[in-house]
Structure 1
Amino acid sequence: MESYSTKLTWESLRPRGEKQDWAGKVWFKGHVPSHAFMMWVAHLDRLPTRSRLASWGLQIDTCCCVCNHFHETRDHVFLRCEYAEQIWKMAIRRLGYRPVLFHTWDALLAWIEMRVRHCPSTLRKLTVQAILYRLWRERNQRLHNASPTPPQVSFKEIDRQIRNTILAMKHRRNFKNLMQIWLTHE
């Protein structure tokens, strides 16, 4: 070779796999890296929930540390826990939908990719990722610090994160009208 190419070297060392159908729901233009990473790990169901840790042989309580009622699984922490349901209701209302709850991960993914006029998928993806990130932080905060945060306070943090992301990306085509849509049903 006459010249060295880092790109070609990288591509020869790291063969690419098939693109997954869920990749666009996790990695999209304008995603918040920490939120997208959390969504990716959650989608693969690799988060260290108590049920998962117990399946590895650890002798721990498998009850959810947020509600203390059900086994702590990905779907419970992010979709079925009372705390999560309250946050989802606030977010769904803010996006202009009638309150709906997701009881399976597949139902959440199907909702993200729905084609509707009044709420672009970019805003739904941002919202879902911000909620998942905040719910996991709340779970860890309760587990390690025994310090609960009311759902309304958590939703204010989610709201602030979404507003900041939209403002930071306002020059991008997919983000042009998102603030107006996000604030319409405040």
Structure 2
Amino acid sequence: MSTTPRLHGGNAPIYDIRELPLNLTANVPDGVLWRDGDDTYSSRFNSKNTWSNIRKKKDQVMWSRLIWFQQGVPRFAFITWLAVRDRLSTGHRTAQWGQAQYCLYCGKPDETRDHLFFACPYIFTLWLKVTGNLFGMDPDPDWDTTITRLLTGHYDRLTFILLRLVLQVTVYYIWRERNERLHNHVSKPVEHIARLVDKTVRNRITSTRYYLRPRLQGLMQRWFGAHDT
């Protein structure tokens, strides 16, 4: 049985306290300092610095700029982040729980992330409609190829904003429509979803007040120009 003396009501041994003496400065009142960095402190609290100090840091991934950008919308970004991480509850994943699975768009027996984005014929038709000529070439139904093109392609500023935005909006509506078919047994034609994507992108462009911001001027015109037929 240990006989090490301990502070009343605490768990720290007394000798631990004695090994950490306080260096007091005469005629200076006590105060509280917030940790700003590894070895820096401030008298003011900063939530950003505090979060950076307590979170587990990892190397930044290349695809992060496809998810987080100023003109993005959080709910679209979150679903796309899940898709990039392959964490959406697709049939391929839920089959591990004993649930029957198939693509709710085309009936293919294996509903994977890569099938939904954008190998399924129904969805690839949608993808062709909403991207227009933004890629500068024919869109590819392969997920990895699409992500690689977005990361390595040479696009002007406005086109890159629109490509990221239409990717996120399309992924969001594909997933929402998939869940509508699964839970409510209702479905929409591809033209309807294409109109939803187009309207959502245009609403987001308008909300940026692009016409008042020199770096965004021409954003709506670029969107319309990508879909001229």
TM-score, normalised by the number of residues in structure 1: 0.89
Separation of aligned partners in 2, 1:28 and 1:118: 12
The yes-or-no answer on 1:139 pairing with 2:178 is yes
Q: Secondary structure at the match of 2:132?
A: helix
Letter in 1 for 2:51: W
Q: Report the equivalent of 1:158.
A: 197
Contact in 1 for aligned 2:158/2:216 (Cα 8 Å): no
Separation of aligned partners in 2, 1:12 and 1:119: 35
Identity level (%): 31
If asked which structure has higher relative contact order (CA below 8 Å, sep 6+), I would say 1
Q: CA deviation at 1:89?
A: 1.3
- Which runs of no fewer than 5 residues in structure 1 stay unpaired? none
Deviates more, 1:151-160 or 1:170-179: 170-179
CA shift in 2, pair 1:152/1:118, >3 Å: farther
Q: What is the number of residues matched between the two proteins?
A: 183
Given the alignment, which residue of 29, 35, 44 partners 2:70?
29
CA shift in 2, pair 1:5/1:15, >3 Å: farther
CA-based RMSD: 2.0
Letter in 1 for 2:160: S
Contact in 2 for aligned 1:142/1:148 (Cα 8 Å): yes
Separation of aligned partners in 2, 1:99 and 1:11: 41
CA shift in 2, pair 1:150/1:71, >3 Å: same
Separation of aligned partners in 2, 1:30 and 1:157: 18
Q: Bigger radius of gyration, 1 or 2?
A: 2
- Which runs of no fewer than 5 residues in structure 2 stay unpaired? 1-32, 34-41
TM-score, normalised by the number of residues in structure 2: 0.73
Q: CA deviation at 1:18?
A: 1.4
Given the alignment, which residue of 45, 52, 59 partners 2:86?
45
Contact in 2 for aligned 1:66/1:139 (Cα 8 Å): yes
CA shift in 2, pair 1:11/1:86, >3 Å: same
- Written as runs of structure 1 = structure 2, the 5 A alignment for 1:57-136 is 58-93=97-132, 95=134, 97-103=136-142, 105-113=143-151, 114-117=153-156, 120-136=159-175
